[in-house]
Structure 1
């Protein structure tokens, strides 16, 4: 707090002296104005070298204070989020044994408890990260059957919020790289997550078939058919193969719109920043009720539905 106060005091002084000499202008970076302003103070410099040293000291102090301010205010959320996830993964190890025992007597109870544990942890991560999220359309999720959630993908926080908000046990199709993350991979496998290679079609086909079996067992699946996070915020095309989970099982498709999640992390990675996010579950789609081109290219059909809603929701953040 002391550094923060000193920072603002020096900045106010630089603005005052700068405006006095008519040099404080938006086209100049603050540090330039700060140095010029401080150099206008009548100090007993005996040479240009002394003035140069004075300028270097001013620049150094400015950036030290600025860095301290960033670490204190902005990076704190990132540090806290990473720390919490690490502690959770370590402390939760004994829960695996408890879930194993529960599963011997009641598999459904084991699934629900395991899912709720991770959903709670992701909720804490969202809270620490300062994510203010609105949820709309939960009533559109069928309660008596498994569904296929289809979402646009902008950020890691799509997964965090999706996991936290989905009301029933849900598995995610994820990247193969997450299978190599210690402790986290155990929780993911326990919660019906599957890891796509994207380089081995045969292996990925086996995983798609396994996901279909999960749906038949009553486990919903969450898929991001773009295949990767958008680097620009714009939606990419959906891979039609993702929708076989619905067409082969007959389960409803629930389109999910994630608006402004990119602003939390990816827009200024690795810093986590507070953001207003909207998560909207759109009315479910019966794949068997579709006709013509909508049935042939169901991915394009769902893509357009989500894209139109994203345009509307973007006006609300």
Structure 2
């Protein structure tokens, strides 16, 4: 499976300049290499924007959301036809599913118009288990756009009932798991790992298991660690900041908040042991805490602080 080529689709400079997501011409999307310290550096939080709830901004937001919906409907329909023609070739359907994500995700971010800063792109084409914090629908658009070709997602099996998008997800040969009870969930996870190893794929997963309501990091589930233990594929954390301000949960108002995407260095799972799963979860969670701005860090209660000290 390819890890570059189409994996860089729509990320070249010429097309990137045409589909510039920045609403401010003085702010340009950057692809920076992380400096010394890597995952241990504290993020900068000097980006600011004016949160305007006036009727003009609300109208512009509605237009953008409708445009996003219509764009996704068109691209999803086009690629659904492509997938149907490629039914006998599962690997090609995965590849086309990624190209669909690159095209659609980039177009949606262009329509929304948020200024975007991207760092650590030297880690963006690894064969890896990509994990990402999740606080906004915009996270989905970014992941669709920025994950490399040869990447599949893992979602609950009920996604097939999502109109059009769910059917395309299945046609693109992405993975589904049955979460109805622990035993079936474990079996589904094993089958997912076998598919990843057999077809030399990467994975994308949200380790929190759900979307944060206020942007603050939630506890991580164990699934991504089990995947790493069974597949021996490194973990590449993707840290998203600002998306919870750009599109708040339960809101239909998209704001021009700056967004940051930061790929962190791969975390090798070669020496991991089954009896230290909780330690690995805490280690990766701590890396996110150190790389998120203060408003997105989890709130540590006094009881938790006292127990950790004791």
Q: Which residue of 2 aligns with 1:213?
A: 194
Distance 1:213 1:233 in 2: 33
Distance 1:120 1:279 in 2: 18
Aligned: 1:232 with 2:219? no
Unpaired runs of at least 5, structure 2: 1-53, 297-310
Distance 2:122 2:294 in 1: 20
Superposed displacement of residue 197, structure 1: 5.1
Q: Which residue of 2 aligns with 1:89?
A: 76
Residue from 115, 123, 143 that aligns with 1:162: 143
Q: Which residue of 1 aligns with 2:133?
A: 152
Q: Which residue of 2 aligns with 1:301?
A: 283
Aligned residues: CA RMSD = 2.8
Distance 1:238 1:284 in 2: 18
Checking the alignment, whether the CA contact within 8 Å between 1:158 and 1:261 is kept in structure 2 is yes
Superposed displacement of residue 313, structure 1: 11
* Partner SS for 2:293: helix
Q: Which residue of 2 aligns with 1:12?
A: none
Superposed displacement of residue 116, structure 1: 0.6
Checking the alignment, whether the CA contact within 8 Å between 2:119 and 2:262 is kept in structure 1 is yes
Q: Which residue of 2 aligns with 1:181?
A: 162
Point out the structure with max Rg over C-alpha. 1
* Partner SS for 1:221: strand
Distance 2:159 2:144 in 1: 16
Q: Which residue of 2 aligns with 1:172?
A: 153
* Number of equivalences: 243
Alignment of 1:1-317 (within 5 A): 69=56, 72-100=59-87, 103=89, 108-141=91-124, 143=126, 146-196=127-177, 198-216=179-197, 217-266=199-248, 269-289=251-271, 297-311=279-293
The structure in which a higher percent of residues are helix is 1
Superposed displacement of residue 296, structure 1: 5.1
Distance 1:214 1:292, change over 3 A: closer
Distance 1:177 1:77, change over 3 A: farther
Distance 1:155 1:96 in 2: 28
Superposed displacement of residue 259, structure 1: 0.8
Superposed displacement of residue 109, structure 1: 4.2
- Greater relative CO, 1 or 2 (CA 8 Å, sep 6+): 2
Distance 1:293 1:91 in 2: 47
Superposed displacement of residue 248, structure 1: 1.0
* Partner SS for 1:158: helix
Superposed displacement of residue 280, structure 1: 0.9
Distance 1:196 1:109 in 2: 22
Distance 1:268 1:100, change over 3 A: closer
Distance 1:88 1:310, change over 3 A: same
TM-score computed with the length of structure 2 as normaliser: 0.69
Unpaired runs of at least 5, structure 1: 1-65
Checking the alignment, whether the CA contact within 8 Å between 2:94 and 2:172 is kept in structure 1 is yes
| CA distances 1:4-36 after superposition (whole Å, capped 9, x unpaired) | xxxxxxxxxxxxxxxxxxxxxxxxxxxxxxxxx
| CA distances 1:141-183 after superposition (whole Å, capped 9, x unpaired) | 464xx31112111112222211211122211122455321132
| CA distances 1:205-238 after superposition (whole Å, capped 9, x unpaired) | 2321122113212111111111101112111111
Superposed displacement of residue 281, structure 1: 1.0
TM-score computed with the length of structure 1 as normaliser: 0.68
